[in-house]
Structure 1
Amino acid sequence: MRYSRLKRRKRNRYTWIVFLGLLLFLVVYIGSASAAGNFISRLITSFLNNFTSANSGKGDASIGVPDTQLTVPDKADTAPNESLDKGNIQKVTEQLDIVPFNLYTIQLGAFSSKENAEMAASELRAKGGAGYILNDKYFRLLAMGYASEGDAQKVKQQLQKEGIESQIYLISASGVKLEITAVADKVNSIKSAFSIWIDKVKALEDMVKKLDTSAISVEDAKKVLKATVEEFNSTLEQLKTYLVTQESNPILTGLQNLYQNCIESLNGILAENVADRVATSSKIKYTYIDMVYRYKQYIDNITSEQGGTGN
């Protein structure tokens, strides 16, 4: 009996020792695992912080998106190598008032047949007239155009004295107000493009008068035309740079077409090695009427797209 009790006490003592040993092992293991976990966590955090710090401010190198978004003006607003500092690039809005442009033409006939009109036009050109055919229900034969109605009336009366019946046919381009928003240089350039075209085309009338009165030689007239073409080419190149980013802009596109057509017409006159005063005068008269009529169509398109806001 006594032996048996002692044996049971020893077994109970060993059991407690084993239990305490296992408990101590678990405490040490959990503590070590926690420490290791904290160490690894700190290591990863430190690595991520160092990586972020080393790459901060670079953005996403794969797509090149900067941290700070900038509004960059279009190519037409920024000259090559010009600074893109936002403070240096400011757009303005200005109004361009285009005044009406009237051309009082001398009409020598209105034909229902195009063939008859072309035959009459050919005869008129040989005599120094424009021989311009305007298809407006009828094929109207135009001899010359004048910015002043008074000048047109005087010519009409003179023709009547010579037994030639004529009518005054008005080609009228209405005035229009345009609102331009761009950098200041671009606004000024577009305004200049309009005024240059109108002034130079109107100058063709004065050139014709001088040719017809022998106040200027054909050679001198062609020198003036050449200078006009050079100025037109310079302006046209500027307009083309604006259209790089505004291809669908009907105002700029139409203005470019006006310049292009006029350059081609004037180059056609310059290309002919003819010193004939009558022939040169006829071609300039034709170009004068043609350019004003094209201008009228251009302005009509603008006003129709704006809902008829012309003057």
Structure 2
Amino acid sequence: MRYSRMQNNKTEHFGKTEGKNGIFFFLAILAIAAAIYFIGAAKVGKFLTDKVFAPVFSLLTGSEEEQQESQTSEIQSTVAQQGESFTLTLPETHVYALQAGAYADENNATEYAQTLKNKGGAGYIQFDGEIYRVFIAAYSSQENAENVIQRLESEQNMQTKLYEIICASKTISVTADAQTKEELEAATNEAPNYVAQLIDLALEYDKGNIDVSSAIEKLNEMGMKAKEQQKKIASLQQAGITGNYITALQVYYEEIIQILGEVNETYSQTEMSAFIKYAYMTAAFAQNELAGKADA
């Protein structure tokens, strides 16, 4: 208050020139104060900063604490826009395969597999590290599989064994942006469809409801869908989005694309039946592998 009164008195008492001198005097004081601040910063810098300069600058830019809080909020907002945490779920699926033989020798397994193919069977070989298992067919329903086992035994005197392929359910935690989330969800949801679709296709084909050309058309459609998913996953990898699950998905779709791409337009009716069965056995074990490696 004392300084205010002195300033008012000077303004009223002196003329315009003297008023300008007062302004220059005031600016000189500010300059001296600034010089004192920088020269004596080691001793009194903290006091001046906390008690004098900080309150002044807070009127223009906000306090230091407010600036830091604003910056943190902006960063968090950017992260929220770029990515969010969500979960992907691979459903548990069961495939009930018919094992027609088991061999210690690969050549014996290969020979028997070809015999099954010649009759329209899958002729698929799966090696578990010790035994070469040979499969003739598979079904989505255990009841259907057991009925076929009984029929093969009673009508053809053929012994087969039920072999259940369990693709365990997996929940994968992922952090990604909205577009990546959409693409991963689509690829994950699409993955289990190939086994079921191929099994259904084999049943419809063996019943005579579709011919070779129609079967090829459906197989090509499945292959195109798999390629679309594989390309999206490859794009994610190129963008730096990686992880065990991304890699496992990529491998899975590559296997689906490869087997579906082997279909031949010159197949006979029996060869086509064998091919579709071989394809769904390939897809079943590929899905089983995917579930086993689906850790993000």
Q: Distance in 2 between matches of 1:179 and 1:248?
A: 13
Letter in 2 for 1:151: N
Pairing 1:157–2:150 present: yes
Q: Distance in 2 between matches of 1:108 and 1:227?
A: 31
Corresponding residue for 1:297? 289
**Aligned-partner SS, 1:268:** coil
Q: Distance in 1 between matches of 2:163 and 2:80?
A: 51
Letter in 1 for 2:249: L
Instruction: Indicate if the aligned counterparts of 2:89 and 2:188 stay in contact, CA closer than 8 A.
Output: no
Corresponding residue for 2:189? 195
Pairing 1:133–2:125 present: yes
Moved more, 287-296 or 121-130: 287-296
Which of these residues, 230, 240, 246, is aligned with residue 234 of structure 2? Answer: 240
Corresponding residue for 2:178? 184
Corresponding residue for 2:224? 230
Letter in 1 for 2:89: D
Pairing 1:278–2:289 present: no
Q: Distance in 1 between matches of 2:95 and 2:223?
A: 22
Instruction: Indicate if the aligned counterparts of 2:96 and 2:140 stay in contact, CA closer than 8 A.
Output: yes
Instruction: Indicate if the aligned counterparts of 1:117 and 1:139 stay in contact, CA closer than 8 A.
Output: yes
Q: Distance in 1 between matches of 2:196 and 2:106?
A: 29
Instruction: Indicate if the aligned counterparts of 2:191 and 2:287 stay in contact, CA closer than 8 A.
Output: no
Pairing 1:113–2:105 present: yes
Shift in Å at residue 246 of structure 1?
3.4
Shift in Å at residue 273 of structure 1?
2.6
Shift in Å at residue 144 of structure 1?
0.8
Which of these residues, 83, 93, 105, is aligned with residue 101 of structure 1? Answer: 93
Shift in Å at residue 268 of structure 1?
0.8
Relative to structure 1, the CA distance from residue 93 to residue 170 in structure 2 (aligned partners, 3 Å threshold; closer, same or farther) is same
Letter in 2 for 1:159: L
Moved more, 85-94 or 194-203: 85-94
Instruction: Indicate if the aligned counterparts of 1:103 and 1:147 stay in contact, CA closer than 8 A.
Output: yes
Instruction: Indicate if the aligned counterparts of 2:86 and 2:175 stay in contact, CA closer than 8 A.
Output: yes
**Aligned-partner SS, 2:192:** helix
Tell me the alpha carbon deviations over residues 180-217 of structure 1, each in whole angstroms, 9 at most, x when there is no partner.
21112211211110111211332000110111111001
Shift in Å at residue 164 of structure 1?
1.1
Shift in Å at residue 97 of structure 1?
2.2
The structure with more helix, counted as a fraction of residues: 2
Relative to structure 1, the CA distance from residue 87 to residue 175 in structure 2 (aligned partners, 3 Å threshold; closer, same or farther) is closer
CA RMSD of superposed structures (Å): 2.3
Tell me the alpha carbon deviations over residues 237-295 of structure 1, each in whole angstroms, 9 at most, x when there is no partner.
111111014365221111011111111111111xx231412101111111111121122
Instruction: Indicate if the aligned counterparts of 1:247 and 1:253 stay in contact, CA closer than 8 A.
Output: no
Letter in 1 for 2:280: Y
Which runs of no fewer than 5 residues in structure 2 stay unpaired? 1-70
Pairing 1:287–2:272 present: no
Instruction: Indicate if the aligned counterparts of 2:86 and 2:173 stay in contact, CA closer than 8 A.
Output: yes
Letter in 1 for 2:175: T
Pairs aligned (count)? 222
Q: Distance in 1 between matches of 2:237 and 2:79?
A: 25
Letter in 2 for 1:97: T
Q: Distance in 1 between matches of 2:79 and 2:173?
A: 23
Corresponding residue for 2:208? 214
Which of these residues, 139, 143, 146, is aligned with residue 136 of structure 2? Answer: 143
Q: Distance in 2 between matches of 1:273 and 1:301?
A: 35
Q: Distance in 1 between matches of 2:211 and 2:222?
A: 17
Which has the higher Rg, Structure 1 or Structure 2? 1
Instruction: Indicate if the aligned counterparts of 2:259 and 2:282 stay in contact, CA closer than 8 A.
Output: no
**Aligned-partner SS, 2:232:** helix
Q: Distance in 2 between matches of 1:196 and 1:302?
A: 15
- The equivalences for 1:28-67 within 5 A come to none
Q: Distance in 2 between matches of 1:200 and 1:173?
A: 13
Instruction: Indicate if the aligned counterparts of 2:85 and 2:176 stay in contact, CA closer than 8 A.
Output: yes
Q: Distance in 1 between matches of 2:159 and 2:221?
A: 38
Relative to structure 1, the CA distance from residue 87 to residue 243 in structure 2 (aligned partners, 3 Å threshold; closer, same or farther) is closer
Pairing 1:91–2:68 present: no
